[in-house]
Amino acid sequence: EAYKEDPPDVEQLGKSTWTFLHSVAATYPESPSPSQQDEMRQFMRIFGKVYPCWFCAEDFQKWSSKNEPKVNTQEEFGRWLCDAHNEVNAKLGKPKFDCNLWKRRWKDGWEEGK
């Protein structure tokens, strides 16, 4: 009984997935090697195929085919992901997130000098 939970809906799945993806960006190397860059490009391509909300996946694939993942640095990848997330925010009528703040939200935290 303690573990009787329902399958995630689109919102729950989305929130968990964004947490995961932005955290991946927060730990992506500042100066990734060519093979690390290649792996991240592949990961995002495969992510777009297996994301378990088909209409979400379809729109994400369309957007990322026009906006190829930027994987040259951690900062670049974090911002690319922020743009991808903002694309979905716009579609859902949610406020746009200021991408200058992505690193504070997902890596460094908000405290001064941290």
Nearest distance in Å: CB 12, ligand FAD = 8
Interface residues toward ligand FAD, by CB under 6 A:
10-11, 14-15, 17-18, 22, 51, 55-56, 59-60, 82, 85-86, 88-89, 91-92, 97, 102, 105
**Which residues 6+ apart lie within 8 Å of 56 measured at CB?**
10, 14, 88
The CA–CA distances, whole Å, from 70 to 57, 75, 83 equal 19, 9, 11
The closest residue (CB) to ligand FAD is: 14
Nearest distance in Å: CB 69, ligand FAD = 13
Nearest distance in Å: CB 90, ligand FAD = 10
The CA–CA distances, whole Å, from 23 to 17, 65, 81, 93, 105 equal 10, 23, 11, 24, 10
Q: Which is closer to ligand FAD, CB of 4 or CB of 49?
A: 49
Q: Which is closer to ligand FAD, CB of 77 or CB of 102?
A: 102
